[in-house]
Amino acid sequence: MSKDSKKVIDLLNAGRARELSAILQYLAQHYELESDDYGKLAKVMKDTGITEMKHAEALAERILFLGGTPTSKPDAEAKKGQKIADMIATDIRLEEDAVKLYNEAAVACAEALDHVSKDIFEKLLADENEHLDIFMNIRDHIARLGDHYLATLTGK
C-alpha cells in the first residue's frame, strides 16, 4: 500500500467515524423527540440519520476497495437529554465539522490523485451542506418564534 493510499484510507476512516457519530446522535434525538411527541422534528432526525448511514456505507465500500479496514468506532458519543435548541446546536456543530473535514479530504484526495475518493467526499459534502442548512433554519425559527414554532413540530 502506497503512502498516498494509506493517507486516503485514513481520511475515509475519519469520515466514517464522523458519520457513525452522526448516526448515533441523530437516531438518539429521533427517539427522544418521538417520545416527546415532536414527530415532525423526529422525522427530520430519522431521515438525516438514514442519510448518514448511507454515507458511512459508501465510505466503508471505498476503504475496502483500497485494501483498508473500515472503522466501526464513532469519533464521539451521542449527547442525550438535550433541550431542542441545544440539540440543534449540537447538530450544527456536527455538520460544520463534516463540511470542514470533507472539504479538506477532497483536496487531499485530489493531491493523492485519487479522484474517485475525492468525488465521494464531494458528494457527501453536498448532503452535509443541505443538513447544515436545515438545522440552521430550524435554529433561526426557534430563535425568532420560540415555543410557538416548537408547537408546530408536534404530532405526525
Predicted local distance difference test score (pLDDT) of residue 15: 98
Cell output for 136:
440552521
Rounded mean pLDDT of 67-85? 96
Sorted by where each starts, the structural domains of the chain and their CATH numbers stand as: 3-70+81-151 (1.20.1260.10)
The answer to whether the pTM exceeds 0.75 is yes
Predicted local distance difference test score (pLDDT) of residue 14: 98
Cell output for 32:
427522544
What is the maximum span of the chain, computed from C-alpha positions, in angstroms? 57
As a whole number of angstroms, the distance between CA 62 and CA 59 comes to: 5
SS3 for 15? helix
Predicted local distance difference test score (pLDDT) of residue 1: 54
Task: Using the predicted structure, report yes or no on whether residue 2 has a pLDDT greater than 80.
Answer: no
Task: Using the predicted structure, report yes or no on whether residue 80 has a pLDDT greater than 70.
Answer: yes
Task: Using the predicted structure, report yes or no on whether residue 3 has a pLDDT greater than 60.
Answer: yes
Cell output for 154:
408536534
107-150 pLDDT, tens digit each: 999 999 999 999 999 999 999 999 999 999 999 999 999 999 99
